[in-house]
Copies of this chain bind each other. A is one copy, B any other.
Amino acid sequence: MTWRVGILGATGAVGQKMIQGLAAHPWFRIAELAASERSSGRTYADAVRWMQETAIPDGVGELEVKPASPVLECDFVLSALDSSVAGPIEQDFARAGYPVISNTRNHRMDEDVPLVIPEVNPDHLNLIPRQKERRGFANGYLVTNPNCSTVGLAMALKPLDDAFGVAEVFVVTMQALSGAGYPGVASLDAMENVIPFISGEEEKMQTEPRKILGRLAQNSVQFADFKISAQCNRVPVIDGHLESVSIKLKKRASEAEVSEALASFSGEPQKLGLPTAPAHPILVSSEADRPQPRRDRDAGRGMSVSVGRIRPCPLLDFKFTVLVHNTIRGAAGAAILNAELLADRGLLPQRSQVGAEVAARKHV
């Protein structure tokens, strides 16, 4: 069984990574590519400034880029739209009957929209029925994944919260340039330098993990009660966000227990054997100077989060270093894994249904 995927924002950095991630996907086939007006009507190969180290997958370069509005001939859409336009477009697609699996921030904090990391809070997908009812969506709906730096942090916090309870979190990020898109950061700003500011990032890191680790109760998410303080820096690295984290736990734990909780973490994607799921969602490094962005970001084909340097913290309880591949596990891969989970749960509509619905709409 195969689903036809439409990609919104297909020419951007995350859109390209989605295309790469779907190149040989066993379930999903790229059927439609949509982007801004400027690109639409051209072939993808012509419209895109392809930035990846591998070539455009076979058959994709020839696709015609469509405008980012319904109707597209596909079963669901992955959205990598720019947040300046994503809000209403995603809403339109959901209303038109498409499951919208989005990487953009616009609907993440909407009360009725699941903000999901499949290993962490798959149960939040239970918000979907309420969302459809509340927004009057017949078949479509919105599901989001978190901000790139949040994904790494939330995944590292989950097993610790389950085992010991997380009480306080201190995090300083050293984020890669690809997180700013293309052209993004000017080389004259980035080279041999660190920029101690990323617009809106600290706010996202201080709220999103609390929703993700929140408890679903009576059709709404009760945010986790821990506090997070985040400081975000941009460093001259291409891919891979590194985070220096310190946490306070509610229950006493030894360093070995913390390490074991992280290393043994496994979730629904691993149980279900979803195609994009890494064998180990968290890899614990034993070497003193790891994880490092350039050497560890590709672990688990970019889907494993690496944690290292677990040690006591003089102020809180434990300190450690987290690494997440920001454009794979932190963006394109996150959305694809969400789509796989939805497919497995039967939440992606059958193709004929969409076809029928589309046909119906066309004939109105």
Listed in ascending order, the chain A residues whose CB lies under 8 Å from chain B are: 51, 53-54, 168-170, 172, 174, 177-178, 182-197, 206, 227-229, 231, 233, 235-238, 242, 244, 246, 288-295, 298, 308-309, 313-316, 319, 321
Query: Which of B53, B196, B294, B316 contacts A229 (CB under 8 A)?
Result: B316
What is the CA–CA distance of A313 and B177 in the complex, to the nearest angstrom?
25
Query: Which of B186, B188, B228, B242 contacts A196 (CB under 8 A)?
Result: B242
6 pairs of A and B residues whose beta carbons are closest in the complex: A183-B186, A172-B172, A187-B190, A197-B289, A229-B315, A231-B244
Beta-carbon contact of A229 and B186 below 8 Å: no
Beta-carbon contact of A196 and B291 below 8 Å: yes
Q: List 8 A-B contacts (CB under 8 A).
A: A51-B295, A170-B229, A172-B231, A174-B194, A174-B235, A186-B187, A190-B191, A236-B236
Write out the residue numbers on chain B whose beta carbons fall within 8 Å of the beta carbon of A321: 196, 231
Given A188-B184, A314-B206, A292:B177 Cβ within 8 A: no
Beta-carbon contact of A229 and B313 below 8 Å: yes
What is the CA–CA distance of A185 and B290 in the complex, to the nearest angstrom?
15
Write out the residue numbers on chain B whose beta carbons fall within 8 Å of the beta carbon of A193: 237, 292-295
- Give chain B nearest CB distance to A296 CB in angstroms: 8
What is the CA–CA distance of A190 and B295 in the complex, to the nearest angstrom?
11
Q: Which residue of B lies closest to A294 (CB)?
A: B193
Write out the residue numbers on chain B whose beta carbons fall within 8 Å of the beta carbon of A295: 51, 53, 193
Write out the residue numbers on chain B whose beta carbons fall within 8 Å of the beta carbon of A183: 183, 186, 188-189
Beta-carbon contact of B237 and A242 below 8 Å: no
8 extra A-B contacts, CB within 8 A, seeds A184-B186, A231-B321: A170-B170, A170-B229, A192-B236, A193-B292, A193-B294, A196-B309, A233-B242, A236-B237
What is the CA–CA distance of A172 and B242 in the complex, to the nearest angstrom?
12
Q: Which residue of B lies closest to A198 (CB)?
A: B289
Beta-carbon contact of B244 and A196 below 8 Å: yes
Q: Which residue of B lies closest to A228 (CB)?
A: B314
Beta-carbon contact of A168 and B309 below 8 Å: no
What is the CA–CA distance of A54 and B296 in the complex, to the nearest angstrom?
8
Write out the residue numbers on chain B whose beta carbons fall within 8 Å of the beta carbon of A187: 177, 184-187, 189-191, 236
Q: Which residue of B lies closest to A174 (CB)?
A: B194
Beta-carbon contact of B292 and A195 below 8 Å: yes
What is the CA–CA distance of A242 and B172 in the complex, to the nearest angstrom?
12
What is the CA–CA distance of A169 and B288 in the complex, to the nearest angstrom?
24
What is the CA–CA distance of A319 and B232 in the complex, to the nearest angstrom?
11
Beta-carbon contact of B188 and A186 below 8 Å: no
Beta-carbon contact of A188 and B197 below 8 Å: no
What is the CA–CA distance of A185 and B190 in the complex, to the nearest angstrom?
11
Q: Which residue of B lies closest to A287 (CB)?
A: B197
What is the CA–CA distance of A324 and B201 in the complex, to the nearest angstrom?
25
What is the CA–CA distance of A321 and B197 in the complex, to the nearest angstrom?
10
- Give chain B nearest CB distance to A250 CB in angstroms: 15
Write out the residue numbers on chain B whose beta carbons fall within 8 Å of the beta carbon of A289: 195-197
What is the CA–CA distance of A235 and B173 in the complex, to the nearest angstrom?
12
What is the CA–CA distance of A174 and B184 in the complex, to the nearest angstrom?
22
Q: Which residue of B lies closest to A189 (CB)?
A: B187
